[in-house]
Structure 1
Amino acid sequence: MPRLTPEQRERTVGRLSAGDDPEAVAVAFNVHLSTVYRYQQRFVNTGSTADTRRSGRPSVTTQRRDRQIMRHHLRNRFHTANETARNTVGNHQRPVSGQTVRRRLAERDLQNCRPARGPVLTQRHRMARQQWAQDHINWNWRQ
């Protein structure tokens, strides 16, 4: 079952407070009955249907810093994630790792580019190319 948007959550609580049957509200929003009761209880306890903060390790970057990482990457497509990380400082002046940068870019479907490189040409290769060009300088390609 899909998660309800904040507007839909508020509408479920509104319909319950208007006197609608909880089963009818659950069917109308295509959610389980316990979900409707949980939103109602959350509204009674907190006055809001918004998600509560979850436990877990806090992010080392803010949303603003994430946008800065993305802008830096889009301006410098050939920089590696580690180079971008060196130029980025996280919350409380903590350094940002290259893995964090890769994760933030992957969240936005971006990845770093590598410059196209051909084989290394020796002096002999260059001379052979130049000789071929000189030999074919007056060549008629339409023959």
Structure 2
Amino acid sequence: MTKTNSLKSHHISVLHYWNIGSRSARKIHRATEIPLSTISYQLKKLKAQGSLQYRAGNGRKRKIDAKCSRALGQFIRRNNEVTLHELAEKLRNQCQLTVSTSIISRHLRRLQYENCLPLKTPMLTLEHKKHRVEWAKAHLNNNWKSTIFTDECSFQLIID
């Protein structure tokens, strides 16, 4: 059994005995074989807080706050090829915040940004260029007024 599963089962057991009115750590220990110190800690927590939930606000505060997080998102949206070192420099200049590249990387992963390399675009070969010139010469005298060029976006054609 993993540590989190055993902790959950301890919480459930202690809560069960608490709800049926048993407040003695020794009695609960004999019935469940959960360590006495664990039961004592949980009973003390139940008396003080009324639950076994962790108190919010424990732990170290995050170095990158909401304002700097928005700034990071803007930097990336403006230039999605920006490096972590450039992001660290921009945060230092605009937010007066000195952070390492690993902190920025962790923060971006937490925000579900993915780190990937841009796709390589194949260069045109001499054969490709030759075919393009041939096509252009073949269609040189076409009536281009009746031709619609599009970038595969949706469009609506209105005919007068």
TM-score w.r.t. length of structure 1: 0.48
Structure of larger gyration radius: 2
TM-score w.r.t. length of structure 2: 0.45
